[in-house]
Structure 1
Amino acid sequence: MTTATTQAAIETIGTLPLAEASQPARLISLDVFRGLTVAAMILVNNPGDWGHIYAPLEHAEWHGCTPTDLIFPFFLFIVGVSISYALAAARQQPARHGAAMGRVLRRAGMLFGLGLLMALYPKFEFATVRIPGVLARISWVFLACGILFLKTSRRQQIGLLIALLVGYNVLLQLVPVPGFGPANLAPETNLGAWLDRAVFTEAHLWKQSRTWDPEGLLGTLPAIATGLLGMLTGQYLRRRELEPAVRVAQLFVAATGLIVAGLIWNEWFPINKSLWTGSYVLYTGGLAMAALVLLYWLCDVQGRRGWWTGFGQVYGVNAITVFFLSGIVAKTLNAVKVTAAEVPLKTWLYNTFFTPYFSPVNASLAGALVCVSIWFGVLWLMYRKGVIIKV
């Protein structure tokens, strides 16, 4: 997109009212945070060349945390915050709980179905389709958190959050693994990997390993805890009896406490995205809380706007849509063959327009940035026309 077009998009979005002042049921900062997160997700998922990637744009090999490892927990945290706003009215009226849970169940089913469709496309090989995945985990977390928000108190949610993290720690570090022996945190022999093979079979797990899955079944328990952290944060932001500055200060203190607690727990239960360890939940949850609170102060309280808010909102209102479509388009470009050598169209485009002009890692990054820019253009046109696809 041209600079003029981008500026026009930002100016259009900049006319939206402040959530703090005129839309108490919606946060501008939440849309921006969601949009920046999903844009980062598309950036790291679409390098020009998977063999040449800057280290911060790769996942940690096992234990540890890179900037890329923050993206998925940030999104699940945002799911929890969104639930606390979307279902707030229904929660106060028990007569509406049934209808609200029906909507939660339908949306969770749609998310899981879209994830399955992404895994099947374009070959539709049902015998080897991956069942766990990003959208599958989002659907499970959304379903669990939606029901818990409607049916439990804040105190109960805090208790459940603690129980999930401690219980998961006990399962992974104390329960023997059938067929392998003592509890361990190795990729292929931990309890979660064993459970995934037992439930899904190796044919339906992550294709890069087939023996374990980074979005496996047991790891969904602490992922729900990440969603609960978002729910609790959203509920606190809705406390209108407190001044915005008080809410921001107290949540920053809480975020700092979570980060420190995660780093301390890391000494016994290492920060690990694939295992979604308790230390990882606290560390990434604290960072997500701090990021949202900062955006809340800037966007909703201070009313500040810039190119980054426009960019974030354009991505944020159609986040699941762009994640799904970007995956489908990437697979299509790999499936379409060009030239006599049957080179995938994506590879041909990359070798034609990027590799001759940049170093390998910069060409790969440039390809990813162009992908993010193209999708911004598509989403901006959708936004201008009022097309918001709710999944």
Structure 2
Amino acid sequence: MKNQRLHSIDILRALTMLLMIFVNDLWSLSHVPRWLLHTAAEVDGMGLSDAVFPAFLFIVGLSIPHAVKARLEKGASKVSVMLHILSRTFALLVMGLFMVNLENIDAAQLLIRKEYWQILMALAFMLIWNNYRNPMVFGVVPTILVKILGWIILAFLASIYQSASGNWMMIHWWGILGLIGWAYLLVALLYLWIGDKVWWLAVACIGLLLLNVNEFVRLLGVDLQLVVSASTHASVMLGVLTTVMYTQLAAKAQLKWLIPSLLGVALILIVFGFATRPEWGISKIRATPSWTSICAGISILAFVLLHFIADVKGRTSWAAFIAPAGSSTLTCYLMPYFAYAFVELLGWSLPAVLTDGAIGLLKSTLFALFVIQFTGLLNRIQIGLKI
């Protein structure tokens, strides 16, 4: 069957990125409702902020079968696809490493202001991983030289770095992009090996969920852990399974069973999550299996809803305004790093009334929408990351 891309995937990605920018801006507000915020590690529960990242992991999984098939259909070998997976992982890990160390930087000991370090970091990412459509930038500069400049900037930033504890750059944690990178690596390679065998993919999902459980109760009798929590891998693999269920049912002209099947999977995950909640609690920070399965179930339900609206009913125009967040997601994610640094350098600040309560939430919503529209503008002038 031809590799047909679903509108619902791009729309769900756009909505999730909109929410991610929104919740990441809540730090700038006061009197934010608790249900919107991250929940502390020791607290059993979760807010909206705790459900956004696993939704994004699920979407990464939704896209993997389409991306792999697109390359194979163009004649790429499995070895070249594997190398592409490795290169994408490397990019995500590098960006994640720098972003995490930005959080721990000692601004007082830098040769330059922290805001300049942040801007140069984001600029370097743009230079290295921009989607160059022509071999020459501005018709005169080879793209390879621009990429090299980006790496020189990162090397400079690393050379002047020092944390508050006096250490050089180190892995405190892998950051959002790093976590995505590790999960993408394993799951994409597994899909490349397994292919569209639904039941084997289901076994892989169960296996990764059990590895997540094993992080808490040692089901296997050994401390078997992946580089990062298996929770991240399980969320991505469930996205892969969802897409493959669609393609297999579509190939057999049995799409009428897709929504009931996915609703059944979502119900199983959510029931498992709440049934095991007394044992581990719901916690994003600790990546408990209860949190993993509940969030995965919610993500599947969101996909089902959007699939019905966008793919079944064909109603997609309502999402056009946020489309850049679905097609240029990494660029969109990077824009606030520029925005916050420039605002700080310029000494801008909003009146307290604009950062408080409901008005503050409106401000964060408008900021997220502005970032998305600015990303769309950059796309029109051929600026946007692609890894």
TM-score by length of 1: 0.73
Deviations 1:269-292 (A, max 9, x none): 222111212122211111111111
Bigger Cα displacement from structure 2, 78-87 vs 370-379: 370-379
Partner of 1:233: 242
Partner of 1:325: 335
Partner of 2:230: 221
Q: Given the alignment of the two structures, is residue 170 of structure 1 paired with residue 217 of structure 2, yes or no?
A: no
Bigger Cα displacement from structure 2, 275-284 vs 25-34: 275-284
Partner of 1:389: 385
Partner of 1:149: 191
Which consecutive unaligned segments of at least 5 residues does structure 2 have? 103-113, 118-156, 163-167
Partner of 1:372: 368
| Contact 2:182 2:227 survives alignment (8 Å) | no
Partner of 2:133: none
Percent identity over the alignment is 25
CA distance in structure 1 between the aligned counterparts of 2:27 and 2:280, rounded to whole angstroms: 35
CA distance in structure 2 between the aligned counterparts of 1:132 and 1:245, rounded to whole angstroms: 41
State the secondary structure of the residue aligned to 2:82. helix
Bigger Cα displacement from structure 2, 379-388 vs 285-294: 379-388
CA distance in structure 2 between the aligned counterparts of 1:329 and 1:116, rounded to whole angstroms: 20
The size of the alignment, in residue pairs, is 318
Residue of 239, 260, 273 corresponding to 1:262: 273
| Contact 1:36 1:311 survives alignment (8 Å) | no
| Contact 1:44 1:58 survives alignment (8 Å) | yes
State the secondary structure of the residue aligned to 1:349. coil
CA distance in structure 2 between the aligned counterparts of 1:222 and 1:272, rounded to whole angstroms: 11
State the secondary structure of the residue aligned to 2:18. helix
Give the deviation of 1:263 after TM superposition.
Answer: 1.3
CA distance in structure 1 between the aligned counterparts of 2:238 and 2:315, rounded to whole angstroms: 26
Give the deviation of 1:248 after TM superposition.
Answer: 1.7
Give the deviation of 1:93 after TM superposition.
Answer: 11
Q: Give the 3 Å change call, closer, same or farther, for CA 225–359 of structure 1 in structure 2.
A: closer
Q: Give the 3 Å change call, closer, same or farther, for CA 69–131 of structure 1 in structure 2.
A: closer
1:174-185 equivalent positions in 2, closer than 5 A:
174=218
Partner of 1:11: none
State the secondary structure of the residue aligned to 2:349. helix
Residue of 97, 106, 112 corresponding to 1:116: 97
Q: Give the 3 Å change call, closer, same or farther, for CA 314–94 of structure 1 in structure 2.
A: closer
Partner of 2:109: none
More helix by share: 2
Q: Give the 3 Å change call, closer, same or farther, for CA 26–359 of structure 1 in structure 2.
A: closer
Q: Give the 3 Å change call, closer, same or farther, for CA 171–369 of structure 1 in structure 2.
A: closer
CA distance in structure 1 between the aligned counterparts of 2:305 and 2:368, rounded to whole angstroms: 24
Q: Give the 3 Å change call, closer, same or farther, for CA 303–162 of structure 1 in structure 2.
A: same
TM-score by length of 2: 0.73
Bigger Cα displacement from structure 2, 130-139 vs 155-164: 155-164
Give the deviation of 1:264 after TM superposition.
Answer: 1.1
Letter aligned with residue 304 of structure 1 = R
Q: Give the 3 Å change call, closer, same or farther, for CA 312–32 of structure 1 in structure 2.
A: farther
Deviations 1:26-83 (A, max 9, x none): 1111000000001100001013635432222201123212222110000000001100
Partner of 2:28: 49
Which consecutive unaligned segments of at least 5 residues does structure 1 have? 1-19, 176-190, 196-216, 339-344
Residue of 300, 324, 343 corresponding to 1:314: 324
Bigger Cα displacement from structure 2, 244-253 vs 104-113: 244-253
